[in-house]
Amino acid sequence: MKIAVISPNTHHLQEMSKVLEALSHSVVLVEGGKSRMRQVAEQEQPELMIVDGMCCDPNELALVEYLSTHHPKIAVILLCAMQTPEFLINSMRAGVREVLPSPVGAAALEAAVNRLATKLAGLRGHSAGQVLAFMPCKGGSGATFLATNLGWALAESRSVLLIDLDLQFGGALSYVNDSRPGSTIADVALDISRLDASFLAASTVKVAPNYSILAAPEDPSKAMDVKPEHVDAILGLAASHYDFVLLDVGRVLNTLVIRALDRAQRIYPVLQPGLPYVRNASRLMAVFKSLGYPAGKIELIVNRFEKAGEIGLGDIRRTLGGAPLLTVPESYREVNASINRGVPLAELSRSNPVNRALADMALSLAPRQEDSPSLFDRLFRRA
């Protein structure tokens, strides 16, 4: 890996060079301050830039943000003599991979670079995961059931993390698992300086080999510990390590939820075919429009749909301005049994029409490899 090291301290440069070259990395040493970052990035194009001498001034992170925007393939490690929690959070938001003490010990530097080399090797073959948000238009819409069970369906072929962002009353975990979480998103927020892939994974409940859930706080008062910047950092990390990140966001539209919705590639408002649900969906669509979300980002799900119902899809489309609609059929008894037992519907009845609808949705989001053969495969089979 090509590494550029910037430091105003010649002794620090030499010590870090010894450690990095012993690990067989190609090292470029630059004596100077953080103002050299842009020049070094453009001239040397390293895979990793280690910048020594950063202080806790958030304004200095503008240099890192420029690098993240214009040179996204360059990872950045900062060396900072003093590290406040605010600086660590802002660093992650700016795109910094790690913040280490200055001067940095040989063991700490070696461990950080090895971690980063492993991550970069994995990311070369892994594109950023999709972030999908589920939001009820009205209480009882069924958004949590759909999100958790879609996660189960996606996990048959992809890695999935569901994050419960209904921070005061969330219970997404209980829909597919009867265990209590050892950690929640509030615990991650309180220890945000430790955030990396292993810490995030350890804070989740693994409900299936490819499916994990980061639970909401069990104590509603701890919801206040989770800030928008925490959610931003968690989602940024999660999207780089999971194929799908599903968000169960609850009904409250606040700055934290909006930050999460901003990051989502697609938002699924969930409603039922009843007038109160449709009215609320219309209001929600107006809010999304005011936030500047493109129409293609929103796809409504009409849950518990019956063809013979009083309100049809045409009525809903006309009210909601022709927004795209997905439908999930009515199956009260089996869905209710799934929720009460804390077992995915697929485990109770794979042939259930609701389960088939979710399986179809999962397939549209994550097509099987054989469904999209390469040109080589098609020619080979034809031959």
Q: Which pLDDT does position 23 carry in this prediction?
A: 82
Please, which residues have CB within 8 angstroms of residue 239's CB and are 6 or more apart in sequence?
128, 129, 130, 131, 245, 263
Count: domains in the chain: 2
Question: Which among 107, 123, 139 is the end of a domain?
Answer: 123
104 and 164 both lie in a single domain: no
Q: Which pLDDT does position 58 carry in this prediction?
A: 66
Q: What's the predicted TM-score (pTM) here?
A: 0.67
Mean pLDDT, rounded, for 187-195:
90
Q: Give residue 306's domain range.
A: 130-370
Determine which of 269-273, 303-307, 379-383 has the lowest per-residue pLDDT on average.
Answer: 379-383
Question: pLDDT of 116-147, one tens digit each?
Answer: 877 766 555 456 789 999 999 999 999 999 99
Q: Which pLDDT does position 272 carry in this prediction?
A: 96
98 and 196 both lie in a single domain: no
Q: Which pLDDT does position 380 carry in this prediction?
A: 45
Q: Which pLDDT does position 123 carry in this prediction?
A: 53
Mean pLDDT, rounded, for 18-28:
87
Degrees to nearest 5, angle at CA 88 with 232 and 214: 40
| CA atoms of 227 and 237, how far apart (whole Å) | 16
Residue 211 has pLDDT above 70, yes or no: yes
Q: Which pLDDT does position 72 carry in this prediction?
A: 76
| CA atoms of 354 and 373, how far apart (whole Å) | 29
74 and 154 both lie in a single domain: no
Residue 382 has pLDDT above 50, yes or no: no
Confidence of residue 56 (pLDDT cuts 50, 70, 90): low
114 and 135 both lie in a single domain: no
Question: Which among 97, 123, 149 is the end of a domain?
Answer: 123
Q: Which pLDDT does position 121 carry in this prediction?
A: 63
Residue 213 has pLDDT above 60, yes or no: yes
Mean pLDDT, rounded, for 66-76:
81
Question: Which among 106, 123, 140 is the end of a domain?
Answer: 123
Mean pLDDT, rounded, for 309-318:
89
